[in-house]
Amino acid sequence: MHRTAVINLVALTPKQLKHMPRLRALMDSGTCCNLDPTLPAVTCTSQSTMLTGASPDRHGIVGNGWHDRERAETKFWQQSNHLVHGEKIWTQLKRLDPSFTCANCFWWYAMYAGVDVTITPRPMYPADGRKIPDIWTHPASLRDELQQAQGQFPLFKFWGPAADISSSAWIANAVRHVDQHFDPTLLLAYLPHLDYGLQKFGPEDPRMIGQAALLDDVAASLIEDLMARGRRILVVNEYAIVPVQQSCAPNIALRDAGLLALRHEC
């Protein structure tokens, strides 16, 4: 079985590739095809669809969060892999080849999945209300190995308004560590940098040229290193962020219809 790395460069499009010469050169040496997108085109749904080959109505991940009617609570970014129904690709491949191993580096619903190596964001929430950046790993010792080698995982640079290239660079180095120390048959990696740049600036903003160039260096360097160790590379994407000509605001429409109540907090 081929040793393969699947690199998820979320929000990567041909438009962004124009400003990513190293990655474009690597991709020009291979082949390219289109994936039919899921609906909704969001991270948890898209990743679960790719990892199971099932549609959202079958694997059950219909969004990045959903409303629990019994608890009357909306839960986002849950992490247990038990929430994803259907057979995962690593289970299928393990059945075909008992020597098969898999490492999941930051694809979602990573906790308690039937893989051999896992790295996923997992903040600590002390009783005083703080949110402390951290990761959850399997094996557990990998957490300390990674954070001793390259510092605390930059959670607040991973998502939100402060997101920058440092989180993708941290992940890329973690992927190298996993590749060298565990050598899994299938290596899953997620580099999110383009996503938040596009959300902050928009796809037409000239600042995205520099943002694309930053990811080009991080992603291409990682891919070159993995290829040098004999890995086949598959680059995938979850969705695209494109200019919008017309838009609707469902929450405003619900509020105007008297179906949504607001509470102002400070």
pLDDT in tens, the chain (266 residues): 799 999 999 999 999 999 999 999 999 999 998 888 888 899 999 999 999 999 999 999 999 998 899 999 999 999 999 999 999 999 999 999 999 999 999 999 999 999 999 999 999 999 999 999 999 999 999 999 999 999 999 999 998 889 999 999 999 999 999 999 999 999 999 999 999 899 999 999 999 999 999 999 999 999 999 999 999 999 999 999 988 888 889 999 999 999 998 888 87
Q: Which tokens sit at 156?
A: 């607040």
CA dihedral (112, 118, 121, 122) positive or negative? positive
What pLDDT sits at residue 36? Answer: 83
What pLDDT sits at residue 44? Answer: 97
What pLDDT sits at residue 35? Answer: 82
CA dihedral (227, 229, 232, 237) positive or negative? negative
Q: What's the pTM value of the predicted model, to 2 decimals?
A: 0.94
What pLDDT sits at residue 149? Answer: 96
Report the alpha-carbon distance of residue 138 to residue 119 in Å, rounded: 7
What pLDDT sits at residue 1? Answer: 77
Residues in the chain, total: 266
Structure-derived torsion over alpha carbons of residues 68, 74, 76, 79, reported in degrees to the nearest 10: -30
What pLDDT sits at residue 264? Answer: 84
Report the alpha-carbon distance of residue 98 to residue 244 in Å, rounded: 48
What pLDDT sits at residue 262? Answer: 83
What pLDDT sits at residue 172? Answer: 98
